[in-house]
Chains A and B, each alone.
Chain A
């Protein structure tokens, strides 16, 4: 809309501004009937395109919800159906008995919470230091951080695997918590906080300084309470990535009771002798839907927060 207003002010005439050839609305256009019809057609085409393109993005979720209530023999019947012909709770009833699903769900929630809180602490401290505090070797230490970003995690996992084994921490949650909080995965978070603190007006801290706050007070009383957007961005990124963690648990965990939910989902395949399609899909739905609901309510925070992290990492 903004661009149209500017265009209208500048020209006061029928000029197309946006790529999609939606003309500037003007009451005094002579060929308005024709223009209106063309606009209508453009709209119909665009909406049809948007709807068709949406299918591969939302159909899997819709299918998943209905498939939860299908009997297993309907999964691969020809022709395939979206809605169950015979609704059943067979699959749902087995979700919690076939694998320790509830335990795995709790594991994921617990891991994600601890990792998110830990990351916010570590990243905000470092981000603040690199943005605001003058300390020796700041530039060099920042370089160390930057270089860590290029290192692929699936390569360094080899020595880390060895250390974890030597320390007797295999099949525990400790490596799963320590790695994402302190490892190279924290760098993006540090950048987000640093960027945020660089844009925070210095005057705020100078005022705090005059009121007698020390360095710690400035961080704790002024900078941190103001860093809502940065905290939200890091929290969303970290919570999602740790709730959905797969690779590290695959390497470090053996017992199913310790699995996070993502790894647990893959273990429905053929443990039982009979197919467990509906159970697996039901468990998947239970994993995905809460996240989707939160996303629906906080869409803006998610999109803005994650696109911020996308830019940096």
Chain B
């Protein structure tokens, strides 16, 4: 974190006899300005996380009032637990599908909006509007639209397709949630892509065109490499966000049908707040944290292979 210690940007006090006093004032002001945020993050983030690790080594159900050290038992139980494995698998499926659909659509929309057509701002507002709509409201409305007799199946019926009961069908439930969530969040990624597309120097694309490259080739060989740092960032943000999806699952499917949409954060919620098995839930939480960390590290380390240059 060398950047924080840089002298750049800090106010240089006039070099007078009182500069020592001023430095002391700065130390006091800086510490007290930073204190609320730093203490808050410590007390409400890092310390609780330490507690979670501590809890994960205990058998603890507050209803009975027991809190017993059981070492790594929660973790051995977790490894043998089918539900946990299938939840992780579901979460990976969810995150992978969401990531692919979201990034593809976001890129497509950004390229479309980058065509300098008239009315672009209006369409941008359309695509972006679900981002600001509350997650609950978005999901509730779609709940009606994807119902067995809802609008989607009605539209399908007019072209002679009998749609399934999307959220009650084990093969479709997870996909349906993913699609609903893609429409909800793709606008944000679209904006990030659009901003970076607009930063690609026109001279470079033009030079490639003179060399006889087709528009598709220009996009693949000039534009994509130049915006690859943004792609990496968007991929990371989207995956990490998808790994702890909760609201749509809780409202739309409650993890069902069967276990087909029981993602890990929903399992964690149920284990902790419905079954009151806090020790085991903590163990699941620790594993979730490690998995997300590893995933982010893998993505970050993959950058040398496909990200054009570090920005």
A219 to B34, CA, bound (A): 13
- B27 lies within 8 A of A136 (CB): yes
Query: A6 and B154 in contact (CB under 8 A), knowing A126-B34, A159-B52?
Result: no
Interface of chain A: mostly helix, strand, loop or mixed: helix
- B210 lies within 8 A of A246 (CB): no
Residue of B nearest to A77 (CB): B149
Query: A54 and B223 in contact (CB under 8 A), knowing A21-B215, A299-B121?
Result: no
- B206 lies within 8 A of A11 (CB): yes
- A60 lies within 8 A of B157 (CB): no
A67 to B147, CA, bound (A): 14
A281 to B51, CA, bound (A): 41
Partner of B14, one of A128, A144, A209: A209
Residues of A within 8 A of B25 (CB): 214-215
Residues of A within 8 A of B114 (CB): 18-20
Query: A154 and B137 in contact (CB under 8 A), knowing A17-B209, A19-B218, A130-B4?
Result: no
- A284 lies within 8 A of B37 (CB): no
Interface of chain B: mostly helix, strand, loop or mixed: helix
Query: A156 and B10 in contact (CB under 8 A), knowing A22-B115, A265-B136?
Result: no
- A133 lies within 8 A of B30 (CB): yes
Residues of B within 8 A of A296 (CB): 125
Residues of B within 8 A of A209 (CB): 11, 13-14
Give min CB distance, A311 to chain B, whole Å: 7
**Does any Cβ of B come within 8 Å of A33's Cβ?**
no
Residue among A80, A131, A183, A287 having the largest count of chain B Cβ atoms under 10 Å:
A80
- A303 lies within 8 A of B140 (CB): no
- A63 lies within 8 A of B9 (CB): no
**Does any Cβ of A come within 8 Å of B72's Cβ?**
no
Query: A19 and B111 in contact (CB under 8 A), knowing A63-B151, A138-B4?
Result: yes
What's the tally of chain A residues with a CB closer than 8 Å to chain B? Answer: 127
**Does any Cβ of A come within 8 Å of B265's Cβ?**
yes
- A156 lies within 8 A of B116 (CB): no
A307 to B128, CA, bound (A): 11
Give min CB distance, A62 to chain B, whole Å: 10
Residue of B nearest to A251 (CB): B273
**Does any Cβ of A come within 8 Å of B64's Cβ?**
no
Q: List residues 122-162 of chain B with CB under 8 A from any CB of chain A.
A: 123-138, 140-142, 144-145, 147-151, 153-155, 157-158
A-B contacts, 16 of them at CB < 8 A, read A16-B215, A18-B205, A19-B216, A50-B123, A79-B158, A82-B151, A130-B34, A134-B30, A139-B4, A144-B38, A154-B285, A155-B288, A219-B29, A247-B247, A250-B250, A288-B134
Please report B residues at the A interface, Cβ cutoff 8 Å. Answer: 1, 4-5, 8-14, 22-23, 25-31, 33-34, 36-49, 51-52, 55, 62, 109, 111-112, 114-117, 119, 121, 123-138, 140-142, 144-145, 147-151, 153-155, 157-158, 183, 187-189, 191-192, 195, 202-203, 205-206, 209-210, 215-216, 218-219, 223, 233, 237, 244, 246-247, 250-251, 265, 268-269, 272-273, 278, 281-282, 285-286, 288-289, 292-293, 296
Please report A residues at the B interface, Cβ cutoff 8 Å. Answer: 1-4, 6-7, 10-11, 15-22, 43, 46-47, 49-50, 53-54, 56-61, 63-64, 67, 75-80, 82, 121-123, 125-126, 128-139, 141-148, 150-162, 178-179, 181-184, 186-187, 190, 197-198, 202, 205-206, 209-210, 214-216, 218-219, 240, 243-244, 246-247, 250-251, 262-263, 265-266, 277, 280-281, 284, 287-288, 291-292, 295-296, 299, 302-303, 306-307, 310-311, 313
